[in-house]
């Protein structure tokens, strides 16, 4: 089937323009073009309106790209295909529920992480675009920057800044091979106590920022694999793929809950259909405990009496018996630990991960409390 190629140039006030309609599935060209140089955001509302009805049922699909970063204003699907040697398996750095993640260097020289979403990962182009626009505006030292995206037909590629040390998940579990804090480990050293505290604070800062935007953004899937680490163990929260904005009660935007077992607050599991900021606080509390203990909250393990327990339940039991120090990850140097700080961290972590959302602090309160606890 051959469809005519229609060149549509949609101009928009202070903005950006896009391009092509396509031949069946073969020729896929996605050209992004930012024609007003000095513009920070390249997608304008008026253009979004013009593109409101991509008609995939006619065999015609729309290609577009957008960049939210001035250094990236001409990225196209063709470029992404080139720099990844057609999404070569050698460049894969991760595999998540939405698709594969590749590392690449763009023509501009920037090193980026490309998340190629599987075809069914996102709904319509319009919803996708609205979501990307929101996320593209976020600039915060503890939130992974989304630099832009490229969409062609059902292909969607998200462009993120590359965070060099990868995910916290890998650092907690893949690399710390020995129960030994003195080094001599092949892949990397276990993370020190101080760096763990730094990571916890970084995540708290990033989350507090999102929760306190005029239109708060709920992450909904806070977990160790969604925390990326830079060279100095600064934390950057990744993956807003599941996030939606809360716009009061009259919202038509889906706010369905989603998440990962072990990190999911009980109210999501038992009925609640709306994600809340308190839900994120729960996941944050679990993450905080996980970082100190070095055990995955998603895997139940045998407790005292041989019965399977999850991380938070186990910690609550241990706290009742005053057994704090033995919960701390064995790969952290004992000399680094101050018992009263350890105790406070566990108590506060379980408060954040309280079953009852009314007892959990807000992220602002979390930051204040951490400032008091951590020396
Ligand atoms: N911006 C980035 N910089 C560096 N590495 C990244 C970046 N984004 C993702 N990665 C790597 O790719 C891996 C997979 O990420 P991805 O988000 O696809 O899966 P996930 O977090 O494990 O699961 P989920 O899909 O539920 O979020 C991450 O754990 C991380 O190692
Ligand atoms: C881009 O945004 C920054 C801050 O948001 C502003 O200072 C700067 O002037 C903007 N640049 C242009 C070209 O609009
Ligand atoms: C542990 O930290 C507390 C402050 O939280 C401090 O008063 C105390 O001196 C520290 N103890 C040691 C052994 O460093
Ligand atoms: Mg992720």
Across 6-20, 63-77, 267-281, least confident range: 6-20
Q: How many domains does the chain have?
A: 2
Q: Judge if 305 and 369 occupy the same domain.
A: yes
Report whether pLDDT(312) > 50: yes
Residue 325 counted as domain residue = yes
Residue 44's pLDDT is 34
For residues 294 and 299, what is the distance between their CA atoms, to the nearest angstrom? 12
Q: Judge if 119 and 187 occupy the same domain.
A: no
- pLDDT category of residue 122 using cuts at 50, 70 and 90: low
- pLDDT category of residue 236 using cuts at 50, 70 and 90: very high
Q: Judge if 368 and 285 occupy the same domain.
A: yes
Residue 28's pLDDT is 34
Question: Which one of 161, 184, 216 terminates a domain?
Answer: 161
Report which ligand 2 atom has the smallest distance to the Cα of 40. 1
Question: Which one of 161, 176, 195 terminates a domain?
Answer: 161
82 counts as catalytic: no
What percent of the residues of the chain are helix, what percent strand, and what percent coil, each to the nearest 5? 35, 15, 50
Across 86-90, 182-186, 211-215, least confident range: 182-186
116: domain CATH number? 3.30.200.20
Ligand 3 center–CA 354 separation, angstroms: 27
Ligand 2 center–CA 41 separation, angstroms: 9
Q: Judge if 149 and 256 occupy the same domain.
A: no
Q: Judge if 214 and 86 occupy the same domain.
A: no
Q: Judge if 228 and 305 occupy the same domain.
A: yes
Across 52-56, 213-217, 277-281, 350-354, least confident range: 52-56
The answer to whether residues 324 and 342 touch, using CB atoms and an 8 Å cutoff, is yes
Report whether pLDDT(141) > 50: yes
For residues 123 and 203, what is the distance between their CA atoms, to the nearest angstrom? 29
Ligand 2 center–CA 40 separation, angstroms: 6
Q: Mind listing the pLDDT tens digit for each residue in 157-181?
A: 989 999 999 999 999 998 655 555 5
Q: Judge if 274 and 351 occupy the same domain.
A: yes
pLDDT exceeding 90 applies to what percent of the chain? 47
Q: Judge if 188 and 250 occupy the same domain.
A: yes
Residue whose entry in the numeric block shows the structure tokens 């100190």:
292
Residue 36 counted as domain residue = no
Residue 23 counted as domain residue = no
Give the best-scoring range by mean pLDDT among 29-38, 187-196, 245-254: 187-196
Residue whose CA lies nearest to ligand 3 atom number 13: 338
Answering whether pTM is above 0.75, one says yes
Residue 62's pLDDT is 52
- In whole numbers, what is the pLDDT of the chain averaged over residues? 78
Q: Judge if 366 and 301 occupy the same domain.
A: yes
Whether 38 lines ligand 2, by a CB cut-off of 6 Å, is yes
**Comparison of pLDDT for 151 and 106, the residue scoring more:** 106
Across 8-22, 155-169, 313-327, least confident range: 8-22
Q: Best substitution site from 338, 339, 341, 369 to test ligand 3's pocket, by max atoms within 8 Å of Cβ?
A: 338
115 marked as binding residue: yes
- pLDDT category of residue 188 using cuts at 50, 70 and 90: low
Q: What range does the domain containing 330 cover?
A: 168-373
183: domain CATH number? 1.10.510.10
Packing angle, helices 363-373 and 339-352, rounded to 10: 170
Q: Judge if 152 and 243 occupy the same domain.
A: no
Residue 135 counted as domain residue = yes
DSSP 277-306: HHHHHHHHHHHHHHHHHT--TTS-EE-TTS
Residue 239 counted as domain residue = yes
The answer to whether residues 217 and 243 touch, using CB atoms and an 8 Å cutoff, is yes
Q: Judge if 223 and 122 occupy the same domain.
A: no
Residue 156 counted as domain residue = yes
Question: Which one of 130, 161, 192 terminates a domain?
Answer: 161
Report whether pLDDT(232) > 70: yes
Residue 187 counted as domain residue = yes
Residue 162's pLDDT is 97
Q: Mind listing the pLDDT tens digit for each residue in 256-302?
A: 556 788 899 988 887 767 888 999 999 999 999 999 999 999 888 88
Residue 204 counted as domain residue = yes
Residue whose CA lies nearest to ligand 3 atom number 1: 338
Residue 113's pLDDT is 95
Q: Judge if 149 and 78 occupy the same domain.
A: yes
Task: State whether the Cα torsion 147-49-56-21 is positive or negative.
Answer: negative
């Amino acid at each position: 089937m051959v469809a005519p190629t229609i060149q549509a140039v949609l101009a928009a006030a202070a903005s950006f323009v896009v391009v092509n309609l396509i031949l069946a599935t073969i020729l896929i060209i996605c050209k992004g073009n930012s024609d007003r140089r000095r513009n920070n955001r390249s997608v304008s509302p008026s253009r979004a309106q013009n593109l409101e009805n991509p008609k995939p049922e006619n065999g015609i699909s729309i290609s577009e790209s957008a960049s939210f970063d001035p250094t990236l204003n001409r990225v196209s699907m063709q470029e992404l295909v080139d720099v990844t040697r057609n999404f070569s398996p050698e460049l894969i750095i991760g595999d998540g529920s939405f698709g594969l993640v590749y590392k690449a260097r763009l023509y501009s020289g920037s090193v980026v992480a490309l998340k190629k979403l599987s075809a069914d990962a996102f709904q319509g182009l319009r919803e996708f675009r609205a979501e990307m626009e929101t996320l593209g505006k976020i600039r915060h030292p503890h939130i992974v920057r989304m630099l832009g995206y490229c969409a062609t037909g059902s292909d969607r590629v998200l462009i993120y800044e590359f965070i060099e040390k990868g995910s916290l998940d890998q650092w907690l579990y893949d690399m710390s091979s020995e129960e030994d804090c003195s080094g001599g480990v092949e892949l990397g050293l276990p993370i020190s106590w101080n760096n763990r505290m730094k990571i916890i604070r970084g995540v708290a800062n990033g989350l507090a920022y999102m929760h306190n935007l005029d239109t708060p953004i709920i992450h909904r899937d806070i977990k160790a694999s969604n925390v990326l680490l830079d060279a100095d163990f600064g934390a950057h929260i990744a993956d807003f793929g599941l996030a939606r904005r809360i716009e009061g009660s009259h919202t038509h935007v889906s706010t369905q809950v989603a998440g990962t077992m072990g990190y999911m607050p009980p109210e999501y599991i038992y009925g609640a259909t709306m994600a809340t900021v308190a839900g994120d606080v729960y996941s944050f509390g679990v993450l905080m405990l996980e970082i100190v203990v070095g055990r995955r909250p998603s895997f139940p393990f045998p407790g005292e009496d041989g019965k399977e327990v999850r991380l938070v339940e186990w910690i609550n039991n241990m706290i009742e018996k005053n057994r704090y120090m033995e919960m701390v990850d064995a790969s952290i140097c004992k000399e680094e630990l101050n018992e009263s700080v350890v105790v406070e961290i566990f108590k506060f972590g379980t408060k954040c991960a309280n079953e009852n959302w009314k007892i959990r602090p807000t992220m602002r309160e979390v930051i204040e409390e951490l400032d008091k606890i951590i020396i």
